[in-house]
Amino acid sequence: MSLRRTAVTLALTLCAVALGAGEPGDFIIANARSAALGGPHIAHADDFFTLHVNPAGLRFIEPRFTYAALSAGASGPVFTLAGIMVEGVAGADLSSLLASPSVQDVLQGIHARAQLSGPLAFGFAGGGAGFGVYNDTALTVRATGSSGIEIRLGERFLLRGGYGFEVPTPSRWNARGAVGVGVKGFVRGDSVLSTSLVTLPSLADSIGPGLLSESPFEIVSGLGIDVGLMLVWRDQVGAAVTLDNLYSPNAVIAYTSLDRFLESAESPPTTYDRYPRRLNVGLAYTPSLGTAERYVQDLRVLLDYRDVLDFWTNPAEAENVVLKFGAGVEATFLRILSLRAGFSRGLPAAGLGLDLGFVRLQAAMFGTELSREPGLRPAYNLLVGLEFGQ
């Protein structure tokens, strides 16, 4: 393979990897509306995504079917990688290109993810009940150690269900209350390839089905139970509390290769663990706009504090308190165009949505902090999605 072709293949591979939108977690799907509002808000219940956020909110939303959805995005040092590709096309020496300080900085600290969610995204939510079935494909590249790189390709199937129960409240409160229980489960298959900066260019000569089938392969599965509580006063002020992963075990089976798994040629041991519990609190405010509602509808202000007790339940992974806050504002104009802004994990977010009835188009730009301290490893993302439903 020529030097130019090797350089271009490397750059195109890394650029494709960068088409991601931050890691959404094993039990949740990527959602552009939520991302633009500064992450999921547990006191915000008005669409299908409520099924993933707070099962109590299912009691407050109108019945809605989702037939299919598709989302994709961009994340990571996209413009820097594009510059590498341009240099490769121009015929730059590959060894000099990889040895340059800018390329070494990118590769040594790279953490990029490409994810395509859907088109399997079928479900129903509303009237207290909800269920959903989803799939997504993800490609993750991350730096390991001083010179290592891990490439992980995974396919996931996710199921969620939940039910919200009405809670009687005193009539003088002029409020509605609900408690909810959610169940969730996933199965994911990951092919994992570990290499180094030195040997990475040589992978261009080995790209093909054989490289994937001979790589280590993992089967990851998990189950979980969530509970939630929501109270809404005068249809304007909402307060909510959720406990995620009340009981959420997971299991990992590691095979030496995908071929060995497909041929049932080995029986490796299963490693068990549990996802840490996460206590979240949230507020939502929907003010009355009076005559302005002719042009502006559904103005919302949202505020959440997430994983309140991680310093106690999971001290080894506890984060700075700044990263726990999420805030968002949304306004809908003429019942079609929604503009959004938010703040989450110490970084800003923004986006918009178009509601065309049967089809909804969403887009978001947002930041993700990859470390446990604000500002140390920020990553910026672009996420777009289509949802078909009624």
Q: Is the previous residue joined to 374 through a cis bond, with omega within 30 degrees of 0?
A: no
The number of distinct structural domains making up the chain is 1
Q: What local confidence, expressed as pLDDT, does residue 385 receive?
A: 93
Structural domain boundaries enclosing 184: 3-389
Of the chain, the percentage scoring pLDDT greater than 90 comes to: 50
Q: What local confidence, expressed as pLDDT, does residue 229 receive?
A: 97
Q: What local confidence, expressed as pLDDT, does residue 266 receive?
A: 86
State which of 124-128, 129-133, 265-269 shows the largest mean pLDDT.
129-133
Convert the pLDDT of each residue in 181-217 to its tens digit.
999 999 999 988 887 766 666 665 555 556 677 789 9
- Residue from 298, 306, 363 nearest 47 by CA: 298
Written in H, E and C, the secondary structure of 82-136 is HHHHHHHHCCCCHHHHHHCHHHHHHHHCCEEEEEEEEEEEEEEEECCEEEEEEEE
The pLDDT confidence band at residue 80, using thresholds 50, 70 and 90, is: low
Average pLDDT, the chain: 84
State which of 2-16, 53-67, 138-152, 194-208 shows the largest mean pLDDT.
53-67
DSSP 277: P
Convert the pLDDT of each residue in 329-357 to its tens digit.
999 998 899 999 999 999 999 999 999 88
Distances (CA, A) of 281 to 11, 27, 40, 237: 43, 19, 11, 14
SS3 at position 274: strand
Tell me the sheet residues that pair with 303. Answer: 283, 327
What backbone phi and psi angles, to 5 degrees, belong to 171? -60, -30
Convert the pLDDT of each residue in 105-115 to its tens digit.
666 777 777 78
Convert the pLDDT of each residue in 136-154 to its tens digit.
988 887 878 777 888 888 8
Contact indicator for 132, 123 with CB cutoff of 8 Å:
yes
Whether 79 shows a pLDDT value over 60: the answer reads: no
Kindly tell me the burial class for residue 257, based on how many C-beta atoms sit within 10 Å of its own C-beta (0-12, 13-18, 19 or more).
middle
Q: What local confidence, expressed as pLDDT, does residue 211 receive?
A: 66
The pLDDT confidence band at residue 12, using thresholds 50, 70 and 90, is: very low
Q: What local confidence, expressed as pLDDT, does residue 25 receive?
A: 73
Q: What local confidence, expressed as pLDDT, does residue 40 receive?
A: 92
Q: What local confidence, expressed as pLDDT, does residue 83 receive?
A: 61
Span between the terminal Cα atoms of the chain, in Å: 51
CA–CA dist 56, 28 (Å, integer): 17
State the CATH number of the domain containing residue 376: 2.40.160
Give the CA dihedral 193, 199, 200, 201, nearest 10 degrees: -140
Tell me the sheet residues that pair with 150. Answer: 142, 194
DSSP 357: S
Q: Which amino acid is at 20?
A: G
Whether 98 shows a pLDDT value over 60: the answer reads: no
Token pair in block for residue 334: 């003429």
